[in-house]
Amino acid sequence: MIYLDNAASTRPAPEVVEAVARAAHDHFANPSSAHALGAAATRALEEAREQVARLMGAATAGEILFTSGGTEADALGLIGAATRARGRHLVVSAIEHPAILRSAELLVGQGYELTIVPPDRSGVVRADDVMAALRPDTAVVSVMLVNNELGTVQPVAEIAHGLARAENDPAQRPQHRPHLHVDAVQAAGFVPLRVASLGADTVAISGHKIHGPKGAGALWLRPGARIAPLWDGGRQERGLRSGTENLPGWVGLGVAADLVARLRDGQGVEAIRAERDRFERAVLASLADDEMSAITEVRPTVSGAPRAPHVSSLSFPGLPAEPLLHALETRAVYASAGSACASRGRGPSHVLAAIGVDDRTAVLRFSFSRETTAAEADGAVAALREAIIEIAPMVNTGARR
Amino acid sequence: MRSAILCRYGEIFLKSGNRHRFERALRDNVAAAVRDLPGVGIDMPHGRILVHVDAAQVDDACARLERVFGLVSFSVAARVPPDIDAIGAAAVRAARAAMDSPAPPAHFKIESRRADKRFPMRSLEISAAVGARVVAETGLPVDVHRPALTIGVEVAPETVFVFAGSRAAPGGLPVGTAGLGLLLLSGGIDSPVAGWLAAKRGLALDAIYFHSPPFIGEKSKDKVLALGKVLARWQALRSVTVVPFTDAQKQLRDTGPAELAVVLYRRMMMRIADAVGDQLHADALVTGENLGQVASQTIQNLSAIEGAARRLVLRPLATYDKVETTALARRIGTYETSILPFEDCCSLFVPAHPSTSARVADAERTEATLDVTAIVAAAVAGSERISLA
């Protein structure tokens, strides 16, 4: 099995699985309980919070709120901030994850106005375009750090800087600086994440993208930033996220954060980047001979933009995406497919449509992890060539005549 | 504490010549539906099927009986000795229970049926006596025309059944009494409904599903199997045979005129279904085809498709509107699965402008250039039968 779908989900690290099981076994008491068992559970939880704070570069662990995952962290950041703000205008990028886009649409249903900022063809949302979308009543700006389909890194620090500058510009007044929410789900562990200096107000991450458990995520909240809870109850997580703590999941997230931070601080990330780059060169080379170039061409879906090290998005004009994916699957290579065309069941990719990928182009996403070996990458290159040889004849005859 | 569920069947009395066969089949199907409930027992007195279960299992048993074709209705009944005082007391208990429910009835009537003519009172006399006692003891008024609560009394040999109201069962004929059908099942809304309707008229069913990897993913196959399991809850499906169809589809597309592709695929499906039907000894094929639902479903095309089948092809939905089919799918329980987005993503095999008036001669001309027998044999050889029992 060659698993190159790590941007969809990663395999939990053995240390994580063990920590989850141990926490479930040892710390079954409610962290809110006043007795010693509750105190022990709370200590385990606070250690996990420290670990997540270190990965995100937070000044103190108290800035971390645990959630049920990336989607909840995004919703809490976006909806929570919008609910607290005076303004009723939102600015989000067109290539955000549905967790942001659909939460923004929910707010539109409640009377907010929404401006969607398109990316350029390289898959990057320009800071200038975000600034141009601001209004005096803009409540929240939401831009992701790394796009999940393309791997492109967005200029979040520049956008944060722009927001701060606009706040100090007398011509812009009266204005409240908008809340900046950053979806860092695909970024954590792969690009430097120093929330303390990023300039954002809230930053979301997810456990299962970093070899942690599913159902566990976190939101960093800048000291002084104000958000409203999405619901109320026992007032856990500083009253911003009520519900009995998912202690095993969050302990697992902490261990995963610890492992990924160590990898980032070592040479691990650069090794992933090198392997991804080698893979892309090998794919292009393997499809460049006469036999292959007669049936298809391949190109990187985006070029010129800074990219996260683990995502490779490749485009195959004239080929269908899902059959290619299934043909890879029969060769035990697991990746993801996207396409700009609406199919009967699944909708088109809003990201690919936003960067102008035409609807007859298959886009495959291969996403790497620290577990990916060179032999696996080579196997995927060979399987891709075979899959194209299998699929291409199907589209070049028959129904199109 | 034991409860008795009194099950009624109606239509099969009309089939007087076959009555015993139908009753035996219905009894077997009822038994199969409740088989795994602990301590369940079944007998067939006086033109009814009686299901005996522990009181704790009554709700579970009722939910299953609601899915047995051939049953018209059923009631959870108290059993008392053939004695008018005992009957009256049971009727009072039934009335009080209804009055204590969240939706208490405003009035009632008694409906009696005397299956054992040795009982000394006639039906109307029983109703009058029992009704008077219920009025006296509960104060609930009588309305014989539009009663909110009907308390039933059925006098059988040695036992009298007393019950409040009845629940509807699906009707139709016992599955298996009409023969065996092979259902062409896909992941859409229509074909599971077509199968359900065929089963309702007494056909036992196996299904065949045409799978086209790598153009269709594993999730589509899982979805079809999930639909099959819903049908199996109605005893309407025993197995799904998954047939690889990619090679056949590719050969037909690459050989025939593009506008004829859909008709050619479906003619090939009919042939493969007939071959699988031979293995299973099926009496007929069943499809979810509809007249005019999509552009290619014209009467001419359906005729051209049918021409390739050796068996009778039943199309229960031929004349249904989509809204009617959808409403049935919701009732059956297949709708939520059918609308899951794992349909065939790519239109590689479907021409933009399919013919609406395919002629058999044109289809046969394409098929003559192919080894149809070998294509069918290969598909059948590569098939996998998945039991839903």
Q: Which of A5, A344, A364 to substitute to test the interface with B, most B CBs within 10 Å?
A: A344
- For A207-264, how does the pLDDT look when each residue is reduced to its tens digit (9 = 90+)? 999 999 999 999 999 999 999 999 999 999 999 999 999 999 999 999 999 999 988 7
Which neighbouring-strand residues pair with A363? Answer: A315, A338
Residue of B nearest to A360 (CA): B346
- Is residue A183 within 8 Å of residue A72, measured between CB atoms? no
Distances (CA, A) of A357 to A11, A96, B309: 31, 17, 44
Residue A401 has pLDDT above 70, yes or no: no
B250 to chain A, any CB pair closer than 8 A? The answer is: yes
| Nearest-CB residue to A323 (from B214, B342, B352) | B214
B344 in reach of chain A (CB within 8 A): yes
Q: Look at residue A399 in the predicted model and tell me its pLDDT.
A: 39
Query: How far B218 CA lies from chain A's nearest CA (Å)?
Result: 9
Cβ contact, residue pair A399, B350, below 8 Å: yes
Strand, coil or helix: B2 = strand
Is B102 in CB contact (< 8 Å) with chain A? no
Complex ipTM: 0.76
CB contact under 8 A, A322 and B351: no
Could you say which of A327, A344, A345 has the minimum Cβ distance to residue B214? A327
Of A324, A345, A390, the CB nearest to B343: A345
Report DSSP state, residue A5. Answer: B
**Residue A206: is its pLDDT beyond 90?**
yes
Pairing of strands B108-114, B73-80: unpaired
Chain A interface includes B171 (CB < 8 A)? no
The pLDDT value given to residue B15: 61
Q: Which candidate from A344, A395, A398 shows the least CB-CB separation from B344? A: A344
Q: Which residues of B touch A327 (CB under 8 A)?
A: 214
Taking an 8 Å cut-off on Cβ atoms, the answer to whether A322 and B217 are in contact is: yes
Per-residue b or e along A253-273, where b marks 16 or more CB atoms closer than 10 Å to that residue's CB: bbbbbbbbbebbeeebbeebb
Tell how many helices (H) and how many strands (E) occur in chain B: 13, 14
Q: What are phi and psi of B272, to 5 degrees?
A: -65, -40
Beta bridge partners of A114: A90
> DSSP for A177-234?
PPEEEEE-TTTTTTS---HHHH--SEEEEEGGGTT--TT-EEEEE-TT-----SS-SS
Residue in A346, A391, A398 nearest the CB of B253:
A398
Distance from CA of A20 to the nearest CA of B (A): 30
Q: How far apart are CA B220 and CA B185, in angstroms?
A: 12
Residues from chain B contacting residue A335 (CB–CB below 8 Å): none
Nearest to B208 by CA among B251, B268, B252, B269: B269
pLDDT above 60 for A400: no
Band (A265; pLDDT cuts 50, 70, 90): confident
Closest chain A residue to the Cα of B187, Cα to Cα: A345
> pLDDT at position B325, please?
96
Confidence band (pLDDT; 50, 70, 90) for A140?
very high
Is the separation of the CB atoms in B219 and B342 below 8 Å?
Answer: yes
Nearest to A68 by CA among A106, A99, A36, A114: A99
pLDDT digits (tens, 9 = 90+) for A55-86: 999 999 999 999 999 999 999 999 999 999 99
Interface check for A389 against chain B (CB to CB < 8 A): the answer is no
- Does A399 contact B261 at a Cβ distance shorter than 8 Å? yes
Question: Which residues pair with residue A312 across a beta bridge?
Answer: A366
Contact status of B222 with chain A (Cβ, < 8 Å): no
- Asked if the bond preceding B174 is cis, omega within 30° of 0, the reply is no
Q: Say yes or no for a CB contact (<8 Å) between B217 and A401.
A: no
The reported pLDDT for the residue numbered A341 is 57
Q: What is the pLDDT of residue A398?
A: 39
- Coil, helix or strand for B237? coil
Q: Which of A24, A18, A65 is nearest to A247 (CA)?
A: A24
Which single residue is written with the structure tokens 């090679």?
B247
Using a CB–CB cutoff of 8 Å, tell me whether B215 touches chain A. yes
Identify the active-site residue in A341, A382, A389, A395: A341
Write the residue in A320, A330, A394 that is nearest to B213 by C-beta: A330
Phi, psi (degrees; rounded to nearest 5) at B144: -80, -10
**Count of A–B CB contacts within 8 Å?**
69
* pTM for the full predicted model: 0.85
List of chain A residues whose C-beta atoms are within 8 Å of the C-beta of residue B218: 329
Residues of A in contact with B217 (CB under 8 A): 322, 325-326, 329
B253 touching A (Cβ < 8 Å) = yes
User: A341 catalytic, yes or no?
Assistant: yes
Q: What is the pLDDT of residue A170?
A: 67
What does the pLDDT look like over B22-77, one tens digit per residue?
Answer: 999 999 999 999 999 988 999 987 788 999 999 899 999 999 999 999 999 999 99
Distance in Å, alpha carbon of B143 to nearest chain A alpha carbon: 51
A168 interfaces chain B, CB cutoff of 8 Å: no
- Say if the Cβ atoms of B214 and A329 lie within 8 Å: yes
In angstroms, the CA B267 to CA B251 distance is 13
Note whether A49 and A61 are within 8 A (CB).
yes
Give the best residue of A316, A319, A322 to mutate against chain B (max B CB count within 10 A).
Answer: A322
CB-based contact B344 A345, cutoff 8 Å:
yes
- Interface check for A327 against chain B (CB to CB < 8 A): the answer is yes
Using a CB-CB distance cutoff of 8 angstroms, which residues of chain B are in contact with residue A344?
Answer: 343-345, 347
Tokens (6 digits) for A11: 């395999």
- Residue A340, pLDDT score: 58
Residue A188 one-letter amino acid: A
Residue A241, phi then psi, degrees to nearest 5: -155, 85
Q: How far B351 CA sits from the closest chain A CA (Å)?
A: 5
Residues of chain B with pLDDT under 50: 345-346
Left, alpha or beta for A263 (phi > 0: left; psi -120 to 50: alpha)?
alpha
> Distance, in angstroms, between A347 CA and closest chain B CA?
9
Asked if B348's CB is within 8 angstroms of A322's CB, the reply is no
Q: Say yes or no for a CB contact (<8 Å) between A345 and B351.
A: no
Q: Report yes or no: B60 at the A interface, CB cutoff 8 Å.
A: no
Any residues with CB less than 8 A from the CB of A274 and at least 6 apart, and which?
A: none
Output the pLDDT for position A141: 98
pLDDT value of residue A338: 72
Q: What is the pLDDT of residues A96-122, one digit of tens each?
A: 999 999 999 999 999 999 999 999 999
Q: Which among B355, B158, B179 is positioned nearest to B267, based on CA atoms? A: B355
The strand pairing partners of B111, in sequence order, are B152
Chain A residues closer than 8 Å to B351 by CB: 399
Task: Name the minimum distance, in Å, from the CA of B250 to any CA of chain A.
Answer: 7
Alpha carbon distance A221, A77 (integer Å): 8
Could you give the angle at which helices B322-332 and B190-200 cross, rounded to 10 degrees? 70
Q: B344 and A320: CB-CB below 8 Å? A: no
